Amino acid sequence: MSRVRHVKKLLVVVLSAVALTTAVAHAQLSRPKADLVPMVERSSVHAGGPVRLALRVSLPEGLHTQSNKPRDPLLIPTVLTVEPPAGVTIDEVVYPKTTELKQEGLPQPLEVFERTFVIGVRVTLASSVAPGDLVLPLRLRYQACDDKMCFAPTTGTDKWTIRIVPAATAVGGAAEPKVFAAIAFGKGGKPEAAATAPTADAAKSAVANSTSSAKADSPAVSPAVSPTAQELSAIAAPATPAAAGVSPVEEALAATADFEVLATTGGYLGTGDFLSFIHNAEAGVKPQGLFEGRGPLAIVLLVLLGGLALNLTPCVLPMIPINIAIIGAGAQAGSRSRGFLLGSAYGGAMALVYGIIGLVVVLTAGTFGTINSSPWFNLGIAALFVVLGLAMFDVIVIDFSRYSGTLGQGGSRGTVALAFTMGAVSALLAGACVAPVVIQVVLFSSNLYATGTKIALALPFFLGVGMALPWPVVGAGLAALPKPGMWMVRVKQVFGVFILATALYYGYEAYSIFSNRWVDAGAVKAGVEAQLKAGWNPSLADGLAAAKREGKPVLIDMWATWCKNCLTMDQTTLADDSVRAALAGYVKIKFQVEEPDEQPAKAVMQKFNAVGLPTYVILRPIKPGA
């Protein structure tokens, strides 16, 4: 019973740590979220008449949202969309008064809503609506801004629940009368119709008419569009209507089946590098990655050796004989075969835990790729590695091994279940020496898998196998371990140097991503407009259709108004005469990816294995019969 209590206590510690870490990571990685509170004027109502609703929106301190009619028509407005069921008519949507927000670097203030504001909605219920609870789903599209920058737009969802009572029953009392009295009902506007996306020609006209105002008062991050099907940007909208029930982007993705992907690249590229990218794509030359040409066995061997080397770290090596004794292996096993079995169970559990962690991360490559491109994620990894690096120099003490030592106390040793449990727990509590390597291998595996290298799925598992290799051998008493000494301190300090260097790398990545978003969105849009005037296509579907019809290769440029390198590429590399000459025979497409983790942009980025912006993809039409 004592051993069971210790196991339960340890599991509580582990699960609590995991839950806390997950909550902190989520809080850091998420965009500013508004708190939505739907309200109905009365607790119960009759069918056959009007009903007044309200939505209270509260943002964190210091933040505002763009108004429903920003000064720059290309900015993302705050839009409330209500999805009425049968028998419900939306009469009006009443937005609150706006205020001005002075943002650094902009000549004119933004027109925004207060940090907390209320939107009113008036609906009419048909007399045929039956008594009971009526649910009205809502969706609020908004962009949060402070005095320095605007964040990527966010969509929040919630619902109103209207209690409908029979005509013979009195209606309920008023709720929040002050809130509803402050709403200017009768002066609102009609809800926006669920119209199809505007045509590319209409979009070009709108862009041209708004150029001057966009340059004057665009925010630091200016998502000009919504990535939803209803609010699809003209940048991705075809001039010809899509088939019924099929969005323009879905139509374009289906059209890619007639094309061969020659090459994909991303980030800023100088003129020489971009020309090499074009020429290599045309010649069929594939860029070699770190492990390309070495074969899968070489990749596995390198990772196995890395896992094996982790056993020599001061966080692991001293604990091997202790844990061997705890699980009843080694000299206490009674036989070498029994010790081998117990050591194998211990090591196998370690490999399984690392394999599961790797699969969870790698198979969510689309989501994880977005997280990996978040400055907060990189900053969090940098801070974690600083702590782990300082632990290598004994500035901070990180030692979870004392928890695993309690598992074998007060109970019988030598069971496979105990050995397996201790192996799994020790993998989670491996210490400061192992954690940076595991994290780095998982991150590397995710990026490698995104390039099409399927063996990346197994790399974290093989890292665990490498760490597990000594356990069956030592458990059977067939080998002696190196003796601890000062050499281990030196190894630990060398690890510390590499870990701190990795922290600097991730810190620089976070700074680079932050600085990449400190950009004048008006300048980005101006760069895109210049490219459109030079012959680029604003529609993915139309561009692919033209390329197929004319038998021309395609260059897709994925961009966003918050992408600084997108602007730099438009102003430098893509404006270079040699690059323009190399692309003269191409159909060139600008595809706006304002929110990479939402549809339809997410589907396009996953289709071409894009993990950041800008991304460039070269396609070639497949010849009939090929």
Task: Give the per-residue pLDDT at 58.
Answer: 93
Q: Is pLDDT above 70 for 523?
A: yes
**What pLDDT score does 238 carry?**
45
Summarised one tens digit per residue, pLDDT across range 287-330 is 655 455 555 677 778 888 878 877 776 556 655 665 666 565 54
Q: Is the pLDDT of residue 379 over 90?
A: no
Q: 3-state class of 46 per DSSP?
A: coil
pLDDT at 166: 93
What does the pLDDT average to over 401-414?
47
Burial classification of residue 225, based on how many CB atoms lie within 10 Å of its CB (0-12 exposed, 13-18 middle, 19 or more buried): buried
The structural domains of the chain, ordered by start, are: 2-27+313-481 (no CATH), 35-194 (2.60.40.1250), 234-287+519-621 (3.40.30)
Taking the C-alpha atoms of residue 612 and residue 265, their distance in angstroms, rounded to an integer, is 10
Residue with tokens 């991730």: 506
3-state secondary structure of 18: helix
* DSSP code, position 174: B
Question: Which tens digit of pLDDT belongs to each residue from 442-470?
Answer: 767 766 676 566 777 888 888 888 888 88
DSSP classification of residue 377: H
169-183, 213-227, 525-539: which has the minimum mean pLDDT? 213-227
Position 433 confidence tier, pLDDT thresholds 50, 70, 90: low
For position 550, what pLDDT does the model report? 93
Residue pair 419/471 in contact by the 8 Å Cβ criterion: no
Write down the residue that tokens 């599209």 correspond to: 141
Site of tokens 């009971």: 132
Instruction: Please give the structure tokens belonging to residue 267.
Output: 């980030």
> What span, in angstroms and rounded, lies between the C-alpha atoms of 471 and 441?
22
User: Of the segments 304-313, 439-448, 480-489, 588-597, which one has the largest average pLDDT value?
Assistant: 588-597
The Cα–Cα gap between 180 and 172 comes to 15
Mean pLDDT of 274-288: 86
- Annotate 290-302 with DSSP letters as a single string: SSTTSHHHHHHHH
Distance CA 35, CA 156 (A): 9
CA 389 to chain centre: 27
- Is the pLDDT assigned to residue 593 strictly greater than 70? yes
3-state SS class at 209: helix
* Alpha-carbon gap, residue 119 to 134, rounded angstroms: 20
Contacts of 101 (CB under 8 A, 6+ apart): 64, 109, 110, 111, 112, 145, 147
| Least confident interval from 51-55, 154-158, 330-334, 366-370 | 366-370
Given a cut of 50, is residue 202 above it in pLDDT? no
pLDDT category, 397, cuts 50, 70, 90? low
pLDDT at 230: 33
Question: Residue 20: CB partners within 8 Å, gap ≥ 6?
Answer: none
The reported pLDDT for the residue numbered 204 is 38
Average pLDDT over the chain, rounded to an integer: 74
Distance between CA 325 and CA 327 in Å, rounded? Answer: 6
CB contact set of 292 (below 8 Å; sequence gap of 6+): 286
Q: What is the pLDDT of residues 77-106, one digit of tens each?
A: 899 999 889 999 999 999 999 999 887 656
Strongest mean pLDDT among 242-246, 369-373, 471-475, 532-536: 532-536
| pLDDT at residue 94, as a whole number | 95
Task: Reply yes or no: is the peptide bond before residue 137 cis, omega within 30 of 0.
Answer: no
Predicted pLDDT at 244: 46
Would you state the pLDDT for residue 591? 93
Once rounded to an integer, what is the mean pLDDT over residues 484-508?
Answer: 71
Pick the more confident residue, 597 or 127: 127
**Residue 488 pLDDT more than 50?**
yes
Type of residue numbered 97: K
Bin 467: left if φ > 0, else alpha if -120 < ψ < 50, else beta.
alpha
What pLDDT sits at residue 327? 61
Q: Is the dihedral of CA 103, 109, 110, 114 positive or negative?
A: positive
Write out pLDDT tens, residues 342-366: 878 888 888 888 888 778 766 764 4
Confidence of residue 2 (pLDDT cuts 50, 70, 90): very low
Greatest mean pLDDT among 3-17, 73-87, 371-385, 540-554: 540-554
- 571's enclosing H/E stretch is helix 564-571
Average pLDDT on 549-562 reads: 92
pLDDT of 229 reads: 32
At residue 45, the pLDDT reads 93
pLDDT at residue 317, rounded to an integer: 62
Residue 380 carries which side chain, given as an amino acid letter? G
